[in-house]
Amino acid sequence: MFNPNRRHVTWLLCVFCVVLTIVSAFVPEDSLFLDCGGSKALKLDDGRVFEPDSGNRLVGLSPHSHIVVSNSEMGKTNGSVLYNSARVFNETSTYTIVTKQMGRRWLRLHFHPVENPHYHLKSAVFSVEANGITLLYGFSFAKLDKESCLLKEYVMEVGGSSSEELELTLSPCTGSNAFINGLEAVSLPYGQFPSSALPIPLGPAVEIPAHVAFETAYRVNMGGPVITPKNDSQWRTWESDGFFLVNAASARNVTVNPSSIKYLSGVSTEIAPNLVYATAQEMGDANVIDQRFNISWAFEVESMFSHLIRMHVCDIISLSLGTLFFNVYINNQSALDSFDISSKTLELSAAYFVDFVANVSVGSNRMLVQVGPLDLRYLPPNAILSGLEITKMSNPSNGLVRNLGTDDIMILLCEFMTGGPLRKHLYGSDRPPLTWKQRLQVCIGAAKGLHYLHTGAAESIIHRDVKTTNILLGENLTAKVADFGLSKLGPSLDQTHVSTAVKGSFGYLDPEYFRRQQLTEKSDVYSFGVVLIEVLCVRPAINPALPREQVNIAEWAMKWQKGQLEKIIDPYLVGSVDLESLRKFGETAEKCLAEQGTDRPTIGDVLWNLEYAFQLQEASRQIVSDENSANYIPDIPQWVPQAGTAESDGAHSVIYQESSTTTSRGVFSQLMHPKGR
């Protein structure tokens, strides 16, 4: 039966809850919204009011040359009148913003190249700094793909070790302009960004100093729609996660009523709105028998920077506590093991978050975040994730960009390799020849470098130009792979190859890649096989001065695979090479030069075989003296060189003719089991 008094009590409770919400809601001490170049206040549908940047008592603008451009006929550009005007600077200029309170600030910069007959802002090139921290360097809309409006979001410290004011400096490149359409500077709630976080790989918590600046890279709502600033108390935007899912079939979105989400101590709507915690991705059926798979999200990030990763989790799928356990991985490394969210919240549908700091390897621009189940017989496998934030952290040189120098010049710092390129140690110079042991060590070092490129980061890197001039030697002949000008990111998890135009050096090019324009890590393996033959035979990969059948070193060497390889090795090595070591080396080179990429070994297998060949060489020296060794190659007849020698690319090649008295065993195809195997 309807009771009017009950309705009255319910109404009072609702009012009480609303009052509590209003009282507890964060009110920023500083909140400045500027319409740069605007002439009147602009109110957006999310409640923000952008005031003109001129005449504002809290804002100073350096008196350098600047003008206003606008296009009132455009109306709303991308849903916002904020982008209808811009302030343009012909020389370095600074906004000085007076603050009431020390602490961190949201700093949001809005850019849109307003069309104007006198200024082509789309081609403008400029840099931006805030309190001495570089935010943008050599930025231009001309470098972006189809972007018409751009919002860059940062977190900056004001006070403490920096200025009591927030200074934003825009510096146009020589002969260009700088511009900005809108600016936001808003205080953050205390504790919004952590003072420490768990490192990846796991270890003791790492400190995050207050002076560190952040740039938002991704803010993602798992299993739910886009969340606009209108529905976030901090005016943030949350993307949907569909674009980042590696395999959509592995995940299934779940949703509950946002009003059911509970905020416990240390978590508030300022951390993330309830719309984030009310949705999640859980493990999908995926139509597989073995349900122990991970849900994976992949993100492109900048290498050489640390990133703060905040994971939002809310158990909206369990019926009781203690029934959901899962693992979390970042860049294929364990972040949370056997994670039980109920042990943290002691309630279901309670918001929770955890912070990590992860570095991205040099050469990699991919960050992989995964959740996966435990192998527990008494519980069904499952794993969830509600939201994810990835923010780039400023480096020790106070920057959020990698560029160095001026005038848009990129500087690459490299270790000086005193030994120069490997080729100079093989032929074309007066340097002493390398011993067999030294050649093995150099090849092993180069293989280690390629192995790191292929497997050492979240996403593999294909060098595409492996050759003896791109292997540099340092002190003690330490080998380093160099020259990454043609390097290409390898195929993603769901791909077998990268389709791309053919690039590389003739003589080293993978024939399968050349025919099909399909690049894989095995293309580097083929090129490295050519390097191995070059190390063995001390002649260029391509020598047009030689007879036609001898021009290409790989094709030429393969013709000797039926048992004559000893006849084309560097004469300097005769008498010092263990036959078993040579066989293992030759076998490895032959497999690298297989016509089909699927028949070639991985670079890891190549590395193992080269190390084994080195061990065989070392073991033979310990067992048999140099003067009495039946297993070395002094018994091989000294072949008379073919009339004439060939010069190519500074290289000197000597070809040996077969003798009718030879009894040498095969090296490539007629292999014996090596000693110690």
Task: Give me 203's structure tokens.
Answer: 């270890």
User: How many whole angstroms separate alpha carbon 256 and alpha carbon 64?
Assistant: 54
User: How many whole angstroms separate alpha carbon 94 and alpha carbon 91?
Assistant: 10
User: How many whole angstroms separate alpha carbon 637 and alpha carbon 567?
Assistant: 9
Look up residue 14 and give its amino acid. C
Angle at 445 between CA 554 and CA 600, to 5 degrees: 40
Gyration radius from the chain CA atoms: 32
Residue with tokens 């310990």: 622
- List the catalytic residue out of 30, 241, 315, 465: 465
Q: Is 195 helix (H, G, I), strand (E, B) or coil?
A: coil
Report phi then psi at 441, rounded to 5.
Answer: -65, -40
In angstroms, how far is CA 463 from the centroid of its own chain?
15
Of 272, 294, 188, 267, the residue nearest 224 (C-alpha): 272
Cβ atoms of residues 278 and 367 within 8 Å: no
Cβ atoms of residues 219 and 231 within 8 Å: no
Task: Give me 387's structure tokens.
Answer: 């939201």
Sign of the C-alpha dihedral, residues 397, 400, 402, 407?
negative
Of 34, 42, 109, the residue nearest 72 (C-alpha): 42
Cβ atoms of residues 214 and 161 within 8 Å: no
Of 205, 185, 207, 196, the residue nearest 103 (C-alpha): 185
Q: Which residues pair with 370 in a beta bridge?
A: 296, 329
Residue 560 to residues 537, 550, 554, 663, 667, Cα–Cα distance (Å): 12, 11, 10, 14, 9
Residue 308 to residues 198, 218, 359, 389, Cα–Cα distance (Å): 10, 11, 9, 8
Report phi then psi at 403, rounded to 5.
Answer: -70, 140
The yes-or-no answer on residue 340 being catalytic is no
Residue with tokens 């492996």: 466
Residues designated catalytic? 465
